[in-house]
């Protein structure tokens, strides 16, 4: 059986295609990242622009071509923050559903957090998974396959960039305004209440998404993307602060010259780095680990679990 999981995000469209072997082990055939910036302007206008949708359609057509070529028998597609927030989100889903040949389902922030945890969790140890997206960031703390706290916040690299950091390098005033908004949002987390009661341990911090993998590449001094090397790479809070400062004080043309930064991510990377820096400060963490998995893998694993064991036996409880 061959399955594909498609994650339609605010900035990226991602697909992972896997084949389940007879022993129920997964063989990953394709793991593709593309940038459509579907959520461009959604924070301000409340709608997904036609040109943004067309960018997403072109990518979706290529994904469908690959699925047909690989003989994929089951496809699952989900849409997240941009589509959740847009007034025309339903029509966008219908259009992309037609292209992909399967229903595109818009999931809640809460469900996004759960699936991100499933896709990232590779041990039973206590951990907090952080998924910095374009429109939202999910925070999930759990242990022994049991989710204890989860929430999706309305801060993401695209949203923060468009609100505060559109001019690069941004002014100190705009950077401070962005920091204050991140801190305000972080204060809404259920983890914050648990901290106040002295009943919270974050465990290991693990991050997913393009912000994390790009920062890991910068931390490692890579000149090109190396998925195997980046996966599980640990970054210190000190290095994250240093890189964030460099990103916030570098003009966009210089960022575009860096081979470790995807040209279509360069403008929003400083915003994503700022979210991570403030997140580490919030949790009092000295380091975090990057993961190249995340939501699309969570959708894949959750779908397989339903096929193999029944939905009532989903591996992650909350």
Helix, strand, or coil (residue 58): helix
Is residue 167 within 8 Å of 267, Cβ to Cβ? no
What is the pLDDT averaged over residues 195-204? 89
Superfamily of domain 2-106: ATPase, nucleotide binding domain (3.30.420.40)
Across 29-40, b (16+ Cβ under 10 Å) vs e yields: eebebbbbbbbb
Give the β-pairing of 74-79 and 104-106: parallel
Tell me the per-residue pLDDT of 34-85, one tens digit each, with 9 for 90 and over. 999 999 999 999 999 999 999 999 999 999 999 999 999 999 999 999 999 9
Scanning the chain, the segments in alpha helix (DSSP H) are 42-45, 50-70, 81-85, 89-100, 109-120, 157-164, 172-186, 190-196, 210-220, 227-230, 237-248, 252-256, 269-283, 295-308
- In angstroms, what CA-CA distances link 234 with 100, 246, 260? 36, 19, 17
The sign one gets for the Cα dihedral 305, 154, 33, 88 is: positive
Q: What percent of the chain has pLDDT over 70?
A: 97
Give the tokens for residue 299. Answer: 């959708």
Phi then psi for 80, rounded to 5 degrees? -120, -135
Closest alpha carbon to 273 in 128, 170, 122: 170
- Domains 2-106 and 111-290 alike in fold: yes
Per-residue model confidence (pLDDT) at position 305: 85
Per-residue model confidence (pLDDT) at position 141: 97
Count Cα neighbours of 238 within 13 Å in the Cβ-side half-sphere: 0
Give the tokens for residue 114. Answer: 């759960």
Cα distance between residue 125 and residue 67, in whole Å = 35
Long-range contacts of 23-30 (CB under 8 A, 24+ apart): 24/308, 26/300, 26/304, 29/2, 29/70, 30/66, 30/70
**What number of H helices and E strands is found in the chain?**
14, 11
Checking if the pLDDT of 316 tops 60, the result is: no
Per-residue model confidence (pLDDT) at position 23: 65
Checking if the pLDDT of 194 tops 90, the result is: no
Per-residue model confidence (pLDDT) at position 24: 73
Q: Other C-beta atoms within 10 Å of 125: how many?
A: 11
* Widest distance between CA atoms in the chain: 58
CATH number of 111-290: 3.30.420.150
Domain boundaries, the chain: 2-106, 111-290
Per-residue model confidence (pLDDT) at position 119: 96
Phi then psi for 145, rounded to 5 degrees? 60, 20
């Amino acid at each position: 059986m061959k399955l594909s999981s498609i994650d339609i995000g605010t900035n990226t469209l991602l697909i992972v295609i896997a084949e389940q072997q007879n022993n129920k082990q997964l063989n990953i055939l394709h793991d593709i990242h593309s940038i459509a910036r579907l959520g461009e302007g959604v924070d301000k206008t409340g709608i997904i622009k036609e040109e943004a949708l067309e960018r997403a359609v072109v990518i979706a057509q290529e994904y469908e071509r690959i699925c047909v070529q690989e003989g994929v028998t089951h496809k699952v597609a989900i849409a997240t923050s941009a589509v959740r927030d847009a007034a025309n989100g339903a029509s966008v889903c219908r259009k992309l559903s037609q292209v992909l040949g399967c229903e595109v389902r818009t999931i809640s922030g809460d469900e996004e957090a759960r699936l991100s945890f499933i896709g990232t969790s590779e041990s039973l140890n206590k951990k907090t998974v952080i998924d910095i997206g374009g429109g939202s960031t999910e925070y999930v703390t759990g242990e022994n396959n049991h989710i204890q706290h989860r929430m999706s916040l309305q801060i993401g690299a695209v949203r923060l960039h468009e609100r505060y950091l559109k001019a690069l390098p941004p002014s100190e005033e705009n950077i401070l305004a962005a920091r204050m908004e991140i801190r305000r949002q972080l204060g809404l987390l259920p983890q914050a209440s648990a901290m106040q009661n002295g009943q919270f341990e974050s465990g290991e911090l693990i991050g997913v998404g393009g912000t994390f993998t790009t920062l890991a590449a910068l931390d490692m001094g890579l000149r090109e993307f190396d998925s195997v090397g980046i996966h599980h790479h640990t970054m210190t809070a000190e290095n994250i602060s240093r890189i964030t400062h460099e990103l916030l004080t570098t003009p966009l043309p210089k960022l575009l010259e860096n081979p470790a930064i995807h040209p279509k991510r360069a403008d929003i990377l400083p915003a994503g780095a700022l979210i991570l820096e403030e997140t580490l400060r919030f949790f009092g963490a000295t380091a975090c680990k990057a993961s190249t998995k995340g939501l699309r893998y969570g959708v894949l694993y959750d779908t397989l679990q339903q096929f193999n064991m029944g939905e009532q036996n989903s591996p992650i409880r909350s």
